[in-house]
Structure formats: C-alpha cells, structure tokens
Structure 1
C-alpha cells in the first residue's frame, strides 16, 4: 500500500483563495446595513407570526407547530435587535468616556 504525501497549504494561499471566492459579494456590512436588516427581519417575522395567529384563530390552520415556530422566530429576531441596540449604545458610551 502506497501512501501519498499531502501538499502543505500556506496561509497566504488560503487567504488568496478566500478572496477569490468572496469577490462576488459586493455587499458591504457596515452598522447601518446590519441594523436595517435586523429591523426588517423583525418586521417580516412579526408579519409571519400575525398571519399564523390569524390562521389558527379563524380555524383555517390546526398546525400548532408552525404557530410556535413563528412565535419563536419573532422572539429571537426581537432579541437580536435589542442586543444590537444595546451593544451600539454601549460602544457609544465608551467613546464618550474617552478623554482627548
């Protein structure tokens, strides 16, 4: 049985490969984009939850799992938005404490 050796990958080579694969992604992730995506995610999940609640309340849907899943998604998206807001305020307060 013959064992072939493995080629060593340099970290620079790995970074170049990662840069080539990421060139198609022109979307910038600054704070404004991240925060607006979080807000739109809260709105979307809230609409989905309201729809599931309406369907369940009117008897059009008996699937309690989708209702619970929609409620969990809405809660998680709100929690994420609140966490982002808290971190932003924390960072702002830290910047204001810096003495120049």
Structure 2
C-alpha cells in the first residue's frame, strides 16, 4: 500500500500552557510567548498548505487511491488559516482596547 502523506495538525502547546502557568510573564518573556504562539500558528498554516498541495498533485496525477483525503487536507488548511486570522484579530482587538484605556 502507498505511504500516506497526511500529517496530523500539531496541537499548539504554548496556548494550552499559558493558563496553567502561575507566573506572570512580562517584558521579553511575555513577548517571546506571544511570538511563539504566532510562529506556531504560521508554521501550522505552512504545513497544512504543503500537505494540501501534495494531495492535490497526487490526485491530479492519479496516484491517490482515496479521493476523500484531498477535501480533508483542504479543510485542515482552511481551519489553520482561520485560526491564524482569529489570533490576529484578537491581538488587534486587545491592542486597540489597551490603547483606548490608556488615553
């Protein structure tokens, strides 16, 4: 049987660990956690998009046995983009709220 190219979406461990930590991160530590969350989300978008490209290529060349893997890969790619967009929107909303409070 042909080896599958489907890779599972990697859970974003840094988001799950934020609530469980008891210490408050400030300064460089806080910005590195924030940066890591976005880096992980961006990497997830890249990975799922690469997987979708491979699945589409295999389907178009007739090398794939089950065509349902292409829509599944497309859904994963779409969800990862939506997650990144939601993270960005929430970050912008938070920034605007902080700026509004400070004025």
> TM-score w.r.t. structure 2 length?
0.66
Q: Is 1:43 aligned to 2:46, yes or no?
A: yes
Q: Which has the larger radius of gyration?
A: 1
Match of 2:36 in 1: 33
Match of 2:81 in 1: 78
Alpha-carbon distance in structure 2 between the residues aligned to 1:92 and 1:79: 20
Shift of 1:31: 1.1
* Unmatched tracts of structure 1, length 5 or more: 1-17, 20-27
Secondary structure at the aligned position of 2:63 is classed as: coil
Match of 2:56 among 53, 56, 71: 53
Secondary structure at the aligned position of 2:102 is classed as: coil
Match of 1:97 in 2: 100
Alpha-carbon distance in structure 2 between the residues aligned to 1:72 and 1:47: 13
Q: Number of matched residues?
A: 75
* Unmatched tracts of structure 2, length 5 or more: 1-19, 22-29
Secondary structure at the aligned position of 1:77 is classed as: helix
Runs of 4+ residues deviating >2 angstroms = none
Q: Larger relative CO (CA 8 A, sep 6+): 1 or 2?
A: 2
